[in-house]
Structure 1
């Protein structure tokens, strides 16, 4: 079966069969109308220009490329049946090294010799980000391959679903298709994902703890007075709901 390209958003509907519909009438409720108006911003649905995943586009086989989530790791690109793909797992640089993607031959170099800002930019594979994408581009759902996000104005997103007959979203092409090996698979809720200096992120195993990020390192802290770390505000709060991102594993 050929992959199903996602159609252009219109004033009547967007997405594919099984996803959200927009039909205007004088009886439409405000929520539906608001959603449809937002959809009009996405005039041309297309693959995302920025996805938090390794990208082997335009490189030679055997080339090492950066892990966009961790500056101390890299992937190796190979040509499989004419298609360039990254290695299944990222490769860790030796202790005290970072991956220097700007060297003439990308390699692991000593952190102590690294230039300022060597560990940026980074991205969070579990947080769809439309800030660098034009309205209408698509982002994969980090945990459910049958879903995807349409980027709207001002970095907002709209969740949509693939149809049953093309249930898997290919994050590279922006198509719903039948091959589950093309799913986005880079989000691990049991890992800490730091993206910038000074960021505070929850300990995935304990809602009373958080990490202060200084990529590529982080320090673990305990919220005072039995407070809970609020993932929405990024602060310790007395009345926040406890959210354990990784309850099924031990650190």
Structure 2
């Protein structure tokens, strides 16, 4: 039996989320042939379980009670001072006026959940004990709500000439867009509360705009 197998005690404590329903390739990759356990991209209390001969993680596992995932401990979840965690840098933002509803049932309060911001898909909320803290992925990365990680988005590409007016959606911000100027994308923002519609090439009310374009 390999060292990746969880102990009975840790299985009882961990909370597992199946990832098999996703068709997106995440910004985390499993070693082949595996199986293996790998750390989360930036949340020290989470880690992934990888199946044999599969590069996409199968389960997202969560340590309880502010414990951190340990690659060396048989228990897998240890006190933070016992674990070296070097996550991808994310930026904590000021509190939102409209945070999401975090999981509130008693069985979920001890675990960390990462929830997308519906107004800006480069941002996410870190939910713990029913409270939400707003964070942002690195520039030109979007938050993947299935794997709960940040994933790089494609930067806009403009043609070298100005034969016609070209407007492009921002890869992560619903209220932003680019106008191409001789090969250079120039950033613009919609008026407050409006989103850019890639279909009509205009700013419109959010309910009229499909802003799920972070995978462009």
What TM-score range do you get, normalising by the shorter chain?
A: 0.3 to 0.5
TM-score scaled by structure 1?
0.31
Query: Greater share of helix residues, 1 or 2?
Result: 1
- By relative contact order (CA 8 Å, sep 6+), the higher-ranking structure is 1
